[in-house]
Every structure is written in structure tokens, then in C-alpha cells.
A and B are shown apart, each in its own frame.
Chain A
Amino acid sequence: MKLSTEILILGGGATGLGAAWDAALRGFKTVLLEKGDLAHGTSGRYHGLLHSGGRYVLRDPQSARECAAENALLRRLMPSCIEDTGGLFVTAPADPADYADQFFAACKTCAVPVIETSPAEALQREPLLNPKITRAFRVEDASCDSFDALHLLARAVRAANGEVMLRHRVTQIIRSGNRIVGVTGENLVTGESFTIYADIVLNCAGAWAGRIAAMAGCEVKVTPGKGLMIAMNSRLVNTVINRCKPPSDGDIIVPVGTVSVIGTTDTAVPNPDKYAIEDWEVELLMAEGEQIIPSFRQHRALRAWAGVRPLYEDTKKEEQKDSRLMSRAHALLDHESRDGVAGMLSMVGGKFTTFRRMAQLLVDTACAKLGAERKCLTKDTLIDSPDAKLHTVSKRLASLESNKWHVASSTAQPPSHQIICECELVTRAQIESHLRESGSPILNDLRRDLRLGMGPCQAGFCAYRAVGIIHETLQLAPPISNSQLLQFLQERWKGERPVMWGHSLRSLEFDLHIYRNLLGVDTLPVEREIEVYPTEQTS
């Protein structure tokens, strides 16, 4: 396959999709390549916090201002993936007492909306909170389902005539003299190779941006900063809880979807594709969780995972060993002025909350490079449909209840409102509709799209049902369906391993019995696995 475009974007995370949306809205012929699925990298592995800015008011006021502004804007542009949880900054007994006043003053300076509230009111709102908190502040934090957000963005890109190509891996960058003119690569599903020529290439590969830059012969040092998160089985809080202290490990709990996520840690790792989840990290998050919620350890931990932050290290300034001290702010690299290689810009660093702003800066610069003055439209273009409302956790239950899901079907056909994933209330109709759109046999894609298998049983009950529907709908050979099932189960179980105690262990044992002893999955005939780019391998 060969094609040419004006703007070629590498990376299907928040930064890349934001850039593709922005570029397509400006009327550029736009193509985006992603080696995995949407949100396959860091965007799909973050805790889901849409920052109020409060976290950065003292250390990084610029980021704080940007977060506050973007937070307000995104609530309007893409409400259906944002839940207005509100946020609290609370001073726990272990936190420095003088931070609260500095924090409050800095919020005012940075235009981050904040209201001091009483610890009693905070406790009434969130009964599981530590009763020993001494100060509490309300901020405009929200939680954001990044899978939904990125799907909306991809749809918006396509609606603006841009192209989003998934499972297309770049293997080589084509240069003509000192100018980059395109890329070649491989379609990971079909095995075909492709060549795409472009007027300009935007490298939005996040933690993988250094590798893309290296293919172009440029050195960009992006340190992958591993951040561990643990999803607790239920919403222990319905408000984002932040510790009121200098940003550190395990100081945020975010209610997102049906779970609550505690995060994070921050450790520099050499390889964004290969890192382990260490026991001490899990223990650290559990201990910090107890500072916020004293009963934290009594509750069920569902799974642990890590994401890799793309932390840009300016090669001129070395010796920044603590990756948390590296800037969370983004950096836009013009390789023409920096490395003498024209035709490529890299956007590294940054955070999910400010993706739209980063995209604007990036495409503004691309416009200048292309000599095409075109105004950014993303501030005033809805990503969602006009009647979309802010997300609430009750949404799926409400929709099932209104569909009379409890009335039995009179025909032999399984009803379309049949529940396939019981934990996340995913219906047969949703799965069939996804399959018609994506044609992908990969269960993990269903998970990212519909949250299939993300609840308490971690696919114990839905994987065998869903694979049956995939098998039927896509008319696959049995060994292919079997491979898909096994691969999905392995990935689910991998995330459970680090928190395998108590209630989770009991649940996992039960699931293992279903698949190994009852269904005998170990003896199924399997085919060569369809390659899915691994983003994480735990030891």
C-alpha cells in the first residue's frame, strides 16, 4: 500500500489523536498511524484524572494554569467521557501542616478554582476518608475515561476526513537528503507493508518518541517514567481525593468508572515495553492508601498495572535522576533547527489533561513549517454530539433498566440485551456493534472499547461468552478464536498477579477453575497468535 498525505501523525494516544483532530479540522489531509489499538500506550494506562491544576500549583504553575483552563474546556467539548466527580485536597496527619496555606494561595495565583471546606463536610461527602484530616479544599477535578475519550477523538478525526490506521507499525523513516518525506512499515494484522509520503511528520509516540526520532537519525532522550496504579474493586470514594502535600507517590485516589484507582509511583525505566511490577511498589501504594482511607487494606484490590510517562530529558541539562522532578510540561522539538533534519516535529512529555493545547501548539508549528496559515478550531468544535451529557456511573444500569432487560425473550434467538460481561454490564448488542465496526477479533480491543472484562471477575465469566460471539460473527477458524481467548485471559491474569491476596485470590482461583478445569483451555488447539504489540511484560 502506498499513499501520500499532508500531515502524518505517529502515535494513537491522546497527543497524536488530538493533533490529528486539530490538523483535520484545519483542512489538512491527515493520516494517523498507531502500532497497536487506540489508547494502547500510556493514555490507556493512566489513572483517569482530569486535573484541576491543584496538583501543580506550587511546583509547576504553568502546568497548573493550563490544566485549569483545559479542564473547563474539555467538560464542554467531550462531556460523555468525563464525570464531574469534583476533587478534594486533604491534609492527612502525615502531611506537612504549612503546605495547605501555601497551596491555597498558589491556587488563587494560578486561577485554579478552590474553596476551603471543613474536614467534617469532607467526611460527610466521603465517609471512608481518614477522620483525622485537618484541612480540606474543594477543587474542580474530574475523572475521564481515556478509552472513551480516544474513541470519540478517533471518530472526530474520521468525521473531519482524517484517517486513523490502527496496528500499523512504522519500521523505517524515509529521508531525502536532510528532509523526512515519509515512512514505511507493516500492517500487523495482514502482514502487508506500507509506504506513506507526507509533507510533514508529527512524532507523537509518547514514551516511544525517542525510537521514532532515532529512525530519523535524531537523538531525543525520552525517559520512560513508570507509574504504578492499583484499581480497587469498588468506588471507595466518589470524589477525587488528593493529599495536600508536595506531589509524591500514592497520593491520589480517582473514582473512575466502577472502580477507584490509587496512583502512582514514579520510577525511571530503560525500556517502555519491558518493566516489572515490584512488590515494594504495590506495598507502598497500599500503605499510602491507608493514609487517605484507614480501611483501605480491607477493601478488594482488583489489579495493578503500570503506565510509562514520556518524560523529556533535555540532553543539554543532565543529571536529573528523580524522574518526578522532571518537568511534566511538554516540549515541542523542531528537528530542523535542533538536528538539521527537516520535515518532522516531535511532541514529548505533557499530560492527558492538556492534550488539546499540546496539539494546538504542534499543529500551529506545522502550519508555519508548511507555510499555510490556518486557524485552530479545536476550542470551539464539539468532539461529542451536541446533546451529550457528562458521564455518570449509573449510566449503564439506567440504560439496561429502561430497556426492560429483565423481560425474557420469546424467540429462540438470544436477545440483544443479553448481558455478556456482568461486571461492566456489556450487552450482546454492544459487542456485535463493535465487531461490525472494527472487524477485530482481539478481545482486548473489546475491553478498551466497552470495558468488557474490567470488573471484579476480570473476564472470568465474559471471556468465553464474548469469544463465542466473535467466533460466530467474524466466522473465524476455531484455533484462531481459541488463541484470542487464551491471550486475553493471560493479560487479565497478569494484572491480577501483583495483588493476588484475600478476595482477589479467591476470585482468581475460581476463574482458573472455570477455564482450566471445567473448560480445559490448556488443551485447546491454537493457531499462531495474531501479533499484538506488547506494551508491558511483567517478570
Chain B
Amino acid sequence: MPAHSLPSLSTQITSDLCIKCNICASACPVAAAADRFPGPKAVGPQAQRFRHPRLPSPDKSLDYCSGCGVCSLVCPHGVQIAEMNAIARAEIFKRDGLPLRNWALGRSELLGKVGSLFWPLSNVPFKIKPLRVVIEKVMGIDARARFPDFSRGTFRAWFKRSAAAKRTMGARKVAYFHGCASNYYEPRIAQAAIEVFERNQIKVALPEQNCCGLPMQSNGDFESARVYARNNIRKLARWVREGYDIVGASTSCTLAIKHEYHAVLGIDDPALELVATNTYDIFEYLAMLDDEGLLNTRFVKRAETVVYHAPCQQRTHGFGRPAADFMRRFGFAVIESKADCCGVAGTYGLKKEKYDIAVAVGQPLFQQIADENPNRVVCDSETCRWWIEAHTGKKAVHPIEVMAEAYRGRRQ
């Protein structure tokens, strides 16, 4: 049974619900860090009244919205502020043309394909300082922003050879959405997810899939994002019809499918409804199994102190923070992050004019991590982990890796 449903009101019309209370304005981490950004209320429901669907967009300051979604989360009246901003931002690029930078940052799948083809050489250019300076000058990608390393071999190639691929029976059936990060950069995370499914006798299939399209969407390239979204809907719907649940460990990918395809990209399609209502973030899914008493809970307890940062996209799912609860059951001391956002917000912090803002937004989190000084930081989202690692020097892992360890009884 679907655990969630699609919103019925069209995103822009939710500006009707705003009573100007300023709760979003006081919660917005970017507005607090950047004078250039007048805040979610101003660029969201307020500016929305002055936008005409058939005329060029007048917006500028809107581009400083990082899209973290804290505003939509705190709004007590249901205004879909971040979603509204994403839609309005795409209009800026319709007006001005899509910059090469935004085109490139949106193409994580293409980048991943090329990067794994030329591994390990592909990891070199991002580390050559003078080249980075040139890239910054030409494209506006900040030379200080750290990029992750491409992995040797993709997750999909690993899965084909794995035992999990050979399983024919299972208590439940999961079609796994790995996303670009797990496939090309961090196969270990998808591998940990498969390990957890195996421990629960869940049959896993690996559907054909594209990048979820979120990087394109947040870089204002809606047309390309819709092509990927439609591909994914078509490819995933087949599995849902065969009784599979769609599960992913990248919270932003699953959120894109569950929420953004409809609310931001405006896709209205019965197949999307089918896919979206049957898609789960991995911890949402595991918590559901646990509630039903179906989860293998033979965890090996072990004491460790971690700082857990629930990323913005994870919060927007709206299913609480089961990863933190699980880690406590593994015997961990879990210190939850007090910050709403680490700052990077996908690719926002990589941009030259936004890098310093993103660092300032993340500062309270970096400070908390420095004060607590844990061995590891735990966080569900890839871009946040990379950003946190770059700015704290701590190792950052996905909670599903920690869960796999808890079944195994040791760290990898």
C-alpha cells in the first residue's frame, strides 16, 4: 500500500496559502548568511504574484536560493516555497540562456560515464590547481570546491557479479535505484544497501535507470530533467507493476521521484503516480519493515560516538530520522546536527559566487563537528558528505554503511 500521495494543489497556487508570517524567512539558512538573498518569502509567494506565465521573468535575486527546502518544511500553511522557487529559477535561464556551468553541473550521469571510462586518469584534472583556476574563470566553478573521486568500476558492474543478483526468492521484492553517486563514485554505499537487503532475504533487482534529473532541475535545465524523469518513470513503472518497491539510498534521488517530478517538473501522469507512491528512501523502507515486525534486528552492539546530519532532502521526505534511531539501537551515541543545512545544497556551493555563502551556511555544522570531535560523521546525502569531509577533515559515511556493519559486527 502506498505510504504517501502526490499533492493536489498546483505548486504556484500554494502562494495563496501564505499569510506572510515570516517563519520561512527566519528559518532560511541562506538568508541568514547572504545579504544578496532577500529570503524565501520575498522570492517565493511574494514575488510569485508578479510573475506572468507568458512573459519573461523579472527575477535575479531568486538565483541565490540554494533550494535546500527548509522553507517548505517549516511553513505551517503548506506553501511549497522551495518548489515554487525552483520553477521560477528555470524561467531565469529560459530568459538568459543556460550557462555552460549549469549545463555541466546538471550532467552527473554523463560525467560519471566519461569518468569511469577514463579511470583513473579522470580523477587527475580536478586536482590540478592551475586548471581549476582556469575552469573557475571560464565556467564559474569555484576552484576551492572539492570534487569526489571516480571509483574503479561501477556499482552496476559489481552487482552483476554479486550473489544478490542470483537470488530468485525473497520475502519482498525491491527494485534498487542507485543514482549516479553510488554507481560512479561510491559503490560501497549501494553495496552496503544490498548487504542489508540480503540480511533480510529481500530479492533485489537492478532496473535500467537514468540520473534522477535533480542536478539538471536545480541547475535550471527543466527540459533535460524531464527527459530523464520520463525515462525513469517508464523504466520503473514496469517493476512496480510486477510487485517491486522502488528503494534508493540517495535521499535526493528518491525525493525527486516521489515529489519533485510532480511538484516542480509538473509531470502529471498516472505512471508517475504509480511509481512515486511506491518509491521509498531506504531508511523509510527499513523503518516500515521494522514497524511491521519484518526486519531482521540481530544487530551486534558496539559503542561509537557519531554526529548525524540529516540532510535537507532527507527532512523533506517527512518520515522522521529513523537512521538516528537505528544507530542508537546499534549502541551508538548519536549526536544530532543542530544545523538545518550543510550549505552545499547539491551543486549550489560549487558555484563561484555562492561558495562563500555555502561555507557560511555550513559553519554551525562544521563547528559542532569540531566541538564533538567524533571519528565519523553520518549523513544520508552524497553531496553533503563530500562537502562535510572537505570542510571538517572527518570521514563521512552513509547510515546504511553503519547498518551493514551492525549486521556484520565490525567496521569494514
A residues with CB within 8 A of B: 233-235, 238, 258, 298-300, 392-398, 401-402, 405-408, 419, 422-423, 425, 455-457, 460-461, 503, 506-507, 510
Cβ–Cβ contact B50 & A422, under 8 A: no
Residue from B13, B35, B41, B58 within 8 A of A407 (CB atoms): B35
Among candidates A407, A425, A455, residue contacting B36 with C-beta atoms closer than 8 Å = A407
Chain B residues engaging chain A, CB cutoff 8 angstroms = 9, 13, 15-21, 35-38, 41-42, 46-61, 64, 77
Which 5 A-B pairs rank lowest in CB-CB distance, beginning with the nearest? A398-B58, A397-B50, A258-B49, A300-B16, A408-B35
Contact partners of B37 in chain A: CB under 8 A: 406
Supply 6 A–B pairs (Cβ within 8 Å), ascending by A.
A299-B13, A397-B47, A401-B61, A406-B38, A503-B16, A506-B19
Asked, given contacts A397-B59, A401-B58, whether A238 binds B51 with beta carbons under 8 Å apart, the answer is no
Closest chain A residue to B78 by CB distance?
A503
Pairwise interchain contact B16-A234, C-beta atoms closer than 8 A: yes
What's the least CB distance linking A383 to chain B, in Å? Answer: 24
A456 to B50, CA, bound (A): 13
> Given the complex of chains A and B, what is the CA–CA distance between A538 and B286 in angstroms?
59
Contact assessment for B20 and A422 in the assembled complex, using a CB-CB cutoff below 8 Å: yes
Residues of A within 8 Å of B52, CB to CB, are: 235, 238, 392-394
Identify whether the interface residues of B are mostly helix, strand, loop, or mixed.
loop
| Cβ-defined contact, A394 with B50, below 8 A | yes
Out of A401, A405, A507, name the residue touching B19 (CB < 8 Å). A507
Main secondary structure of the interface of A (DSSP, over half): loop
> Is the Cβ of A397 less than 8 Å from the Cβ of B51?
yes
List residues of chain A with CB within 8 A of the CB of B51. 393-394, 397
Contact B49 A238 (CB under 8 A): no
Chain B contacts for A510, CB-based, 8 A: 19, 21
Cα separation A396 to B41 with both chains bound (whole Å): 16
With A298-B9, A406-B38, A423-B49 already in contact, 5 other A-B pairs whose C-beta atoms are closer than 8 Å: A234-B13, A394-B51, A401-B61, A405-B61, A408-B35
Judge whether A393 and B20 touch: CB under 8 Å.
no
Q: Which residues of B contact A402 (CB under 8 A)?
A: 60
Please tell me if the beta carbons of A401 and B46 are within 8 angstroms of each other in the complex: no
A406 and B35: CB pair below 8 A?
yes
Which residues does chain A contribute within 8 Å of B17, judged by CB atoms? 300, 503
> Which residues on the B side are within 8 Å of A506 (C-beta)?
19, 77
Task: Kindly list chain A residues whose C-beta atoms are within 8 Å of the C-beta of B21.
Answer: 510
- In the assembled complex, the CB of B383 is this many whole angstroms from the nearest CB of chain A, namely 26
Residues of B near A460 (CB, < 8 A) are: 19-20
What is the bound-complex CA distance between A299 and B12, given in angstroms? 12
Q: A234-B15, A461-B20, A510-B19 are in contact. Are A393 and B9 (CB under 8 A)?
A: no
CB < 8 Å neighbour of A401 from B9, B15, B20, B60: B60
A424, closest chain B residue (CB): B49
Bound Cα distance from A402 to B58, whole angstroms: 9
Q: A401-B59, A406-B36, A423-B46 are in contact. Are A456 and B54 (CB under 8 A)?
A: no
Which residues of chain B are within 8 angstroms of A300 by Cβ–Cβ distance?
Answer: 16-17
Nearest chain B CB to A401 CB, angstrom units: 5
Instruction: Say how far A235's CB is from chain B's closest CB, in angstroms.
Output: 8
> Nearest Cβ distance between residue B181 and chain A, in whole angstroms?
33
Q: Judge whether B16 and A425 touch: CB under 8 Å.
A: no
- List residues of chain A with CB within 8 A of the CB of B47: 397
Chain A residue at minimal CB-CB distance from B58? A398
